[in-house]
Structure 1
Amino acid sequence: MKFIFTLSFASLFTLSGLAQTADGCDGFRYFYDVFDEVEKTTVQYGANVNVLGQNQPLYMDVYTPAGDQADHRPVIIWAFGGGFILGSREDVADACIGFARKGYVAAAIDYRLYSIFLGVPDSLTVIDVVTKAMHDMKASVRYFRQDAATTNTFRVDTNRMLVAGVSAGAITALHTAYLDADDNIPMYFQDVLDDNGGLEGSSGDAANLSYSSEVDFVVSLSGGLYKKEWMNAGEPPLVSIHGTADEVVPYEHGTAVVPVGGQTYELVSLDGSGLLHARADDLGIDNYLVSVPGGGHE
């Protein structure tokens, strides 16, 4: 699976043109391991009120290739899975280390989760939790833009900003990339957005919020988008892996669920990778889908 993902990602990264003009790209860097050692730096990128009404600081671990002298490096921001109830940024550490060894700056972010102690969430509550996660990821994107414009600690290329995720993290990344003001957003969804500070949210400070949260590329491992119609022509390329028999996040259309403590809770209706990549094909968006026949939620 790891080899298939690496090959798929490299193929689309090349097709999209993001690799050829990246600083230091020699046909080897960004596709293969070129660094043995990786450094990790933990930073606070924002804060916001969680579902328990507590102000939650938001951290991310930033992985960089040790000894690298290149400037303008692509950055890939990873969000973990866990049904918006479980998980931590350490869950995607291996993915970040793998990309840092290839020459990327890679980040594993915190994002706000739901607390099952509040009871079984209804669909509007799930939309609220997805919105909070999206806002947190947007703040992390803005953090790197702000860093590039000020201290330039991480030396990222703000024209090559990638978001990625696993399961709930992939749902977060897809909404970060494709939900915008031009979309036909149902009123109940818009109300949730408005209650959380609009499309951008408020997970960063005033300086953070002055930067763009737009991204250039999306990586989705078993993810989905609330409405496939939110993907429009000219939006970022997408690479995905998804099992056709995924019982947690639908491969095509269905209700995402999360198993917790021996019980299964329904989350929200989603359009999965099968529909998203068909939509991308229709719109002329560069995309690459690896469908795993009979594969479940892995």
Structure 2
Amino acid sequence: MKKIIFLLFAILPFHNTQAQEIKTMTYFQNDTLKLDLDLYLPQKKTNEKIPLIIFAFGGGFSGGERTSEKDFGMFMAKNGYAVASISYSLYMKGKDFGCKGTLTEKIKAIQIGVSDMWQATSFLIENANKYNLDTSKIFISGISAGAEIGFHASFWDYKLMNLYKNNLPENFKYKGFIGGSGAIQDINLITKEKAIPMLLAHGNNDDTVPYAAGSHRSCPTNASGWLILFGSYAVYNHMHDLHKDIELITFCGGGHEFSGYLFHDGKQYVLDFVNDVLKGKKFESHLIIPSGKKGPGSGKYLFCE
């Protein structure tokens, strides 16, 4: 039985926080590319290893900054978690990532971003002892394009899809995934064996990244940039069928403007999620938050199931 929660107002308190330490470092460099990350570290109290959340920003693979979610990194560090906010290759900069773009280029942009994420993960694993990180408790997260990176990094076969060297540990698996308005190309990549706990948030009226199954940017099927994607609601139903742990926050009537919610106003949800996963708690829930938008011409608020 699915657990559905209706919430009229979701105003979550959070404290003004400050990370104990922020380190900027280069995790990948070759003749043409240099990629950095910012590592937010909590105050070290004991020799206990620190769980890590790796974060990828949004921006359609053409823009965005790793520093955009500094408050999220500071908040999680204040609460005992390390956060690595990464830069990644903006392959679509100056190119069309929409309906008039090229399908192969759009897929390549995702693959490059995912490969960068795997490089960052490998770098952090290799340097885990230096920063007291727990390599068995690495979460992955992202907004929009960053959430697409997170989805595919979690479920693609890195030995086949990695554009760089295959350097992740054998049978490596992220501990959980936190995604804002993301989607995956093939939902069948999420199997019982590969499934990891997820916390997802999405507007059900998102015309940029589909909430359920649909085309990216709502492109028609005859568009050169037509790409089918499975969004948060499709993933939620799929995980339900697999009897795997998932939480979905739906903004009823909301669009892509809610993609950053979990890392802005919803940081407490993220904290509760990672705490529950690390405690081994089992869960499945669907939280529905009215966005305040009304149905076309009806004067009534949209209804979400």
Q: Which residue of 2 aligns with 1:200?
A: 162
Q: CA deviation at 1:35?
A: 6.8
Q: CA deviation at 1:44?
A: 1.1
Q: Distance in 1 between matches of 2:238 and 2:254?
A: 22
The more displaced of 227-236 and 112-121 is 112-121
Q: SS state of the match for residue 28, structure 2?
A: strand
Q: Which residue of 1 aligns with 2:27?
A: 45
Q: CA deviation at 1:244?
A: 0.5
Q: Distance in 2 between matches of 1:134 and 1:6?
A: 32
Corresponding letter in the other structure for 2:52? V
Q: Which residue of 1 aligns with 2:177?
A: 218
Q: Which residue of 2 aligns with 1:244?
A: 204
Correspondence list, 1:235-274, <5 A: 235-257=195-217, 268-274=227-233
Q: SS state of the match for residue 119, structure 2?
A: helix
Q: Which residue of 2 aligns with 1:192?
A: none
Correspondence list, 1:1-298, <5 A: 36-47=18-29, 55-118=32-95, 121-148=101-128, 152-180=129-157, 198-202=160-164, 209=167, 211-212=169-170, 213-234=172-193, 235-257=195-217, 268-298=227-257
Q: CA deviation at 1:57?
A: 1.1
Q: CA deviation at 1:33?
A: 6.8
Superposition CA RMSD, Å: 2.9
- The unaligned stretches of length 5 or more in structure 2 are 1-6, 219-223, 258-305
CA 1:158 to 1:237, structure 2 compared with 1: closer, same or farther past 3 Å? same
Q: C-alpha deviations, 1:71-108, integer Å up to 9, x for none?
A: 21110000000111111111222221221111100010
Corresponding letter in the other structure for 2:29? A
Q: SS state of the match for residue 36, structure 2?
A: strand
How high is the sequence identity, in percent, across the aligned residues?
Answer: 27
- The unaligned stretches of length 5 or more in structure 1 are 8-31, 49-53, 182-196, 259-264
Q: CA deviation at 1:5?
A: 10
Kept in 2, the 8 Å contact 1:160–1:215? The answer is yes
Kept in 1, the 8 Å contact 2:106–2:225? The answer is no
**What is the TM-score of this pair, normalised by structure 2?**
0.71
Q: Distance in 1 between matches of 2:248 and 2:119?
A: 28
Q: CA deviation at 1:139?
A: 1.2
CA 1:217 to 1:5, structure 2 compared with 1: closer, same or farther past 3 Å? farther
CA 1:219 to 1:77, structure 2 compared with 1: closer, same or farther past 3 Å? same
Corresponding letter in the other structure for 1:256? H
Q: SS state of the match for residue 174, structure 2?
A: coil
CA 1:33 to 1:295, structure 2 compared with 1: closer, same or farther past 3 Å? same
Kept in 2, the 8 Å contact 1:105–1:154? The answer is no
Q: C-alpha deviations, 1:220-277, integer Å up to 9, x for none?
A: 110000011110103211110111001211100122239xxxxxx9573210000001
Q: SS state of the match for residue 111, structure 2?
A: helix
Corresponding letter in the other structure for 2:169? Y
Kept in 2, the 8 Å contact 1:112–1:133? The answer is yes
For these two proteins, the number of residue pairs brought into alignment is: 240
CA 1:125 to 1:5, structure 2 compared with 1: closer, same or farther past 3 Å? farther
**What is the TM-score of this pair, normalised by structure 1?**
0.73
